[in-house]
């Protein structure tokens, strides 16, 4: 088999004075070979690097790269993976997600049959969305955050190039969505509040606690699946789990532990209690401090905090009894 690669011609391999007997790529008797040749031509190879065996790995590598190139079913660009049911590029994935979530409607200025390819995909949004739906991208997968599996078989989670999409990749994507919803940088709560030696008044403590509670609600509204619930169910879950979320948030944002007694004083000042309830209330403050200390000692990272909070939020049955005894 003869292979012709004209772009491989190297001037250093030319022998002075030699002329090819035929136009390239046919080799003349006196010329140095520049491309892989078929056996039997009678032309000796000048260097081992110019023989067929050494050119074979580069050929196999090119074929392997070509096999790994999966095209976007919408525009033909290079696919970045399976999104909303089909292999698409990042551009078409983002366009489809934005169009569905915002419930956008487009109009076509032509005959509703515009070409959608890598170079014309941005010219007509109507035809682009139409093609997204035509090739099988699913609206319900966008609404739920990720496409729900329709078949539990292992074959569903396999790419055409042989790379498996297992549970680990699914969880990695889900954790990434949880991290995107995190509203807990130090700047959100004020850097002064996070200083261990900073003296904070009761008003500042109350403001810090309120920010954490509001941020917990904001976080829940932006994580997958929770916004799909009925409003009454969302409120019920937050009412049952706010105390655990508050503890996790306090540890995550590195709330100084000296804040806890001031938080207790603020609670007692706002709502006078009987002696028995004061004792129980202070016990909960002590438990709050211990839990925050344990979490800090474990050096929990952001991904682990996100997973813990998601587990707490969706595990309502085990939190109601604990919540009934909390007063702060």
Q: What is the DSSP letter of 158?
A: B
Contact 233, 222 (CB under 8 A): no
Give the C-alpha separation, 265 to 225, whole Å. Answer: 38
CATH code of the domain made up of 179-323: 1.10.565.10
Specify the pTM: 0.42
Dihedral over Cα of 14, 17, 18, 21: its sign: positive
The 10s digit of each residue's pLDDT in 72-116 is 999 999 888 888 888 899 999 999 999 988 888 898 988 989 999
Q: Which of 22-26, 34-38, 153-157, 259-263 has the lowest mean pLDDT?
A: 153-157
Q: State the residue for tokens 């050096």.
A: 299
Contact 41, 27 (CB under 8 A): yes
The 10s digit of each residue's pLDDT in 196-210 is 445 455 566 667 777
CATH code of the domain made up of 70-147: 3.30.50.10
Give the C-alpha separation, 250 to 74, whole Å. Answer: 46
What pLDDT band is residue 271 in, cutting at 50, 70 and 90? low
CB neighbour list of residue 322: distance below 8 Å, 6 or more residues apart: 243, 244
Q: Where are the domains of the chain?
A: 6-60, 70-147, 179-323
Q: State the residue for tokens 């438990």.
A: 287
Integer CA distances (angstroms), 183 to 188, 209, 213, 219, 307, in order: 7, 14, 11, 6, 15
């Amino acid at each position: 088999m003869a292979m012709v690669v004209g772009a491989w011609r190297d001037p250093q391999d030319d022998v002075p004075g030699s002329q090819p007997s035929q136009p390239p790529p046919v080799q003349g008797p006196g010329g140095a070979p520049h491309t892989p040749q078929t056996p039997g031509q009678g032309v000796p190879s000048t260097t081992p690097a110019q023989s067929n065996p050494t050119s074979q790995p580069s050929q196999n590598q090119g074929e392997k790269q070509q096999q790994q190139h999966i095209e976007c079913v919408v525009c033909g660009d290079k696919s970045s993976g399976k999104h909303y049911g089909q292999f698409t590029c990042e551009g078409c994935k983002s366009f489809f997600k934005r169009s569905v979530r915002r419930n956008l409607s487009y109009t076509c200025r032509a005959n509703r049959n515009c070409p959608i390819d890598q170079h014309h995909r941005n010219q007509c949004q109507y035809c682009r969305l139409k093609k997204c739906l035509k090739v099988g991208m699913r609206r319900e997968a966008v609404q739920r955050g990720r496409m729900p599996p329709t078949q539990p078989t292992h074959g569903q989670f396999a790419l055409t190039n042989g790379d498996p999409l297992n549970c680990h990749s699914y969880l990695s994507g889900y954790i990434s969505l949880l991290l995107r919803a995190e509203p807990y940088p130090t700047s959100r709560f004020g850097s002064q509040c996070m200083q261990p030696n900073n003296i904070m008044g009761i008003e500042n403590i109350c403001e810090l606690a309120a920010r954490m509670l509001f941020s917990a609600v904001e976080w829940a509204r932006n994580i997958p699946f929770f916004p799909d619930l009925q409003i009454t169910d969302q409120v019920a879950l937050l009412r049952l789990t706010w105390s655990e979320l508050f503890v996790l948030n306090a540890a995550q944002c590195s709330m100084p532990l000296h804040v806890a007694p001031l938080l207790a004083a603020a609670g007692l000042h706002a709502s006078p209690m009987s002696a028995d309830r004061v004792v129980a209330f202070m016990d909960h403050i002590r438990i709050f401090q211990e839990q925050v200390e344990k979490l800090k000692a474990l050096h929990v990272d952001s991904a682990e905090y996100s997973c813990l909070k998601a587990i707490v939020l969706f595990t309502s049955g085990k939190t109601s009894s604990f919540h009934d005894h909390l007063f702060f």
